[in-house]
Amino acid sequence: MIASLIDEYVEEFVICSECNRPDTHLTKSDRTLMLKCDACGAHRPIKKRLAKKEVARNSLEEGETYEVHIEAVGRRGDGIAKIGKYSLFVPGTQKGDVVNVKVKKISGTLAFTERLNPR
């Protein structure tokens, strides 16, 4: 994750978008931060990017199927798996099982599922 953040920073604040060289420097023109390339003479404004949410990796959608590893068993006997920030409750499973589940309902960071491949 740190490596990807460094790559994004270098792409935005160091590498020239025209010649792809790191021979650049930052200057301010009026109130706009500019990246100027010493190698090719190109210049462009720096966009201040908003923090990206980790949507793709940590998101669940109702109706979608996922393969999960049951890490624990809850008080009511349901298996508990984790995907990102979500805790998934899988009925009819035991600790250590690897099963395919379909998400029926998401409530905050809890997801209720049904098992697709009963053994």
CATH 2.40.50.140-classified regions of the chain: 59-115
20: its two tokens: 């792809």
3-state secondary structure 17-42: CCCCCCCEEEEEECCEEEEEECCCCC
The reported pTM is 0.51
**pLDDT tens by residue, 79-111:** 999 998 899 999 989 999 999 999 999 988 899
Q: Which of 61, 60, 31, 25 is nearest to 43 (CA)?
A: 25
- For the 59-115 domain, the top CATH level (class) is mainly beta
24: its two tokens: 């650049």
**pLDDT tens by residue, 5-60:** 999 889 889 998 889 899 999 999 888 889 999 989 888 888 765 444 444 445 78
